Chain A
Amino acid sequence: MTLRHAFLSLLTAASLAVTPAAFAQSRDHFSVCWSIYAGWMPWGYADTQGIVDKWAHKYGIDIDVVQVNDYIESVNQYTAGNVDGCAMTNMDALTLPAASGVDSTALIVNDYSDGNDGVVLKGSDDLADIKGRKVNLVQFSVSHYLLARALESVGLSERDIETVNTTDADIVSIFPHDDVQAVVTWNPQLSAIEQLDDAHLVYSSHQIPREILDLMVVNTDTLKANPDFGRALVGAWYEVMQKMAAGDEAALSQMAEAAGTDLAGYRHQLAATHLYTDPVEAASLLRGQALLETMRRVAEFSFKHGLLGEMAPNPGFVGIQNPSGVFGSADNIKLRFDPTYTEAYAASQK
């Protein structure tokens, strides 16, 4: 762990020597990163099967797909400018790169969490019993957002509980101890905890569909100067999606192995993940008014917890744009949802 961190810090330090102004120009070499998660395994498959290379060569460019072991570390690599794109959630896209002033575009919506994130209580199957308990979770993550939504649903607020910051790597091993009365986490840890004694899943992202989104986010300036980079990524992604929709067992088995589980286990994870295998459906989400409404919620939660930075005077400090309109300040738009690449791909397939 420390070695990897040391290495990544070195990478970050090395990147500091590169002037950030060198982004917005046309290039022919790009890199994107991703980390292990049910909805992102297709990126790994597209890389090892040469599908990304095939699409990149079609447009005469190169795209490196890099797997990073630690999710937050991968997002930090993108924010620091070491890679041109990264797989992340909608909330993290807003609070990490966009709030740090890195103008970012959500090019592809991979999936939404449909039960992959959940609240687990000990000794009760009633969410209202969470009142007055300590809750172990990764503070300020998607789990924290889910907890806020869960509390809202039973008329409680964050003042009624105490949060304990806990790393996702250790949350399963601390659950059995008497100190721990409630946890919020995501898969695969969530499935592991559900199988332990006295664990009751009382709320999950299944109750808030299309709110916790997984996206491929790319640097806006890079995309503007190199639309082929966007086209190649979209093409490669939906080629794998066709295999997923057809239930290609060979492809699914490979993804399962890369995720450290077996075919049955991976199918179980996918059951709680709504993959957007249809580009038309994905584009209508990216285009719609409902997405702006979701982002308003996310922005308000993030502002309340000071995640938009010290400078932010209100939840709309970081402008968020999609074809239906803009949420927040129109003169500081740092997060854009762009359905045009997905739509162009869908049109080309007809």
Chain B
Amino acid sequence: MKRLINIRPSRGGRWLLGALPFALLGLVYLGLSRARLAANPNERLLPAPTTMLETFHQLATEASVRTGTIPLWGDTLASLERLGLGVAISALIGLTIGLLTGGLPLLRAKLSPLVTVLSLVPPMAILPVLFIAFGTGEMAKVALIVIGVTPFLIRDLQSHALRLPDEQLIKAQTLGANSWQVLLRVLLPQLTPRLLASTRLALGSAWLFLIAAEAIAAQDGLGYRIFLVRRYLAMDVILPYVAWITLLAFLLDRALALVSQRAFPWYHAEEGDAS
């Protein structure tokens, strides 16, 4: 029976079909950009692709007169440093607290309600408080990422720890393991790959908090640059920067996925899809 649900594209066809929406979007942009540039050659709203490439090339190769650093690399380094630090601190706190509250009912009773309430506070709403507590330097930017991402990780890891079969814990105790050994030898190895998976999901919000923090007070960073030229509708800077951030986010995500697959092949064995 030829049913729609059974028609599958060939391998090459899949690539073509996947590229089609991108090509269409590109064509629509080119058409609009050309029409507006014809009316006003100094138009900044929809720059021609060549203009964007030129500007991006300048940003990536020419040192700024004021600071002496090359803007693109200086911004990228500053942002990745903040993101990396923020996410690493979040992951560490998330794993520690998730492991303890997931493994020790006594601790869970104390901490779980607090974590649940904290995770519901919108981090952007307490920004002014953050500034007064941490100032406007690097500390505040990293703190915003940590505050935004950690509660999510804790809750995810705690619930994962609770879902592990009781038989495992009982068997370990039968073999003479004490609480400490159960935490370190039964729970921890099974939570680590889960941490990587949750961190991949949390990266999206981490980027959001990073860009927001850089928009408010900063001297460098990818978000800083975008908000600096927003005044001037300098889309020839903004659009390539957005594309660059997207690429960085994609590479980070793939890197974490690869680490997870290499280090914990057993965790991915039951997933049919190798993502």
Contact = CB atoms under 8 A, between A and B. Distances in A.
Interface of A: 12, 16-17, 19-21, 72, 76, 79-80, 95-96, 99-102, 136, 139-141, 158, 162-167, 170, 173-174, 176-180, 307, 309-311
B136 A310 contact: no
Given A166-B217, A170-B216, A100 B131 contact: no
Given A140-B231, A176-B132, 20 more contacts: A16-B46, A72-B230, A80-B233, A95-B232, A100-B42, A100-B43, A101-B40, A140-B228, A164-B218, A164-B219, A165-B228, A167-B216, A170-B127, A170-B217, A173-B131, A173-B132, A174-B132, A177-B135, A177-B136, A310-B58
B39 A310 contact: no
Contacts of A72: 230-231
Contacts, number: 94
B259 interface: no
B231 A141 contact: yes
A310 B55 contact: yes
Given A164-B136, A164-B217, A164-B219, A101 B228 contact: no
- The interface centre, meaning the residue of B55, B137, B217, B230 with most chain A CB atoms within 10 A of its CB, is B217
A311 B58 CA distance: 13
Nearest to A23: B39
B217 A21 contact: no
Closest 9 CB pairs of A and B: A101-B42, A173-B128, A179-B135, A20-B39, A166-B217, A177-B135, A174-B131, A101-B40, A100-B44
Contact of B233 (A20, A21, A76, A311): A76
B182 interface: no
10 contacts: A100-B43, A136-B136, A139-B228, A165-B217, A165-B224, A166-B216, A167-B217, A174-B136, A177-B131, A309-B44
A307 B232 contact: yes
B36 interface: yes
B219 A101 contact: no
A101 B35 contact: no
B159 to A, nearest CB: 29
Contact of B217 (A16, A80, A136, A176): A136
B227 to A, nearest CB: 7
Contacts of B219: 162-165
Contact of B40 (A16, A20, A96, A311): A20
Nearest to A79: B233
A20 B36 contact: yes
A21 B39 CA distance: 6
Contacts of A141: 231
Interface string B101-142: 000000000000000000000000001100110011100000
Contacts of A174: 131-132, 135-136, 217
Interface string B7-50: 00000000000000000000000001001100111111110000
A16 B32 contact: yes
A95 B228 CA distance: 14
Contacts of B39: 19-21
- The interface centre, meaning the residue of B44, B46, B135, B218 with most chain A CB atoms within 10 A of its CB, is B44
Contacts of B40: 20, 100-102
Nearest to B133: A177
Contacts of A136: 136, 217
A311 B51 CA distance: 11
Contacts of A12: 45
A96 B136 contact: no
A297 to B, nearest CB: 20
A170 B66 CA distance: 25
Contacts of B36: 16, 20
A75 to B, nearest CB: 8
A99 B128 contact: no
Nearest to B129: A173
A174 B213 CA distance: 13
A164 B221 CA distance: 12
A101 B41 contact: yes
Given A101-B40, A170-B131, A179 B137 contact: yes
B70 interface: no
Contacts of B215: 167
Nearest to B221: A165
A163 B218 CA distance: 9
Given A165-B219, A173-B132, A311 B42 contact: yes
A111 to B, nearest CB: 22
A101 B36 CA distance: 12
- The interface centre, meaning the residue of B35, B128, B233 with most chain A CB atoms within 10 A of its CB, is B233
Nearest to B234: A309
Nearest to B217: A166
- The interface centre, meaning the residue of A16, A96, A141 with most chain B CB atoms within 10 A of its CB, is A16
Contacts of B228: 139-140, 165
A114 to B, nearest CB: 24
Contacts of A179: 135-137
A328 to B, nearest CB: 15
B218 A165 contact: yes
B227 A165 contact: yes
A196 to B, nearest CB: 12
A102 B42 CA distance: 8
A307 B43 CA distance: 14
A20 B34 CA distance: 12
A164 B231 CA distance: 16
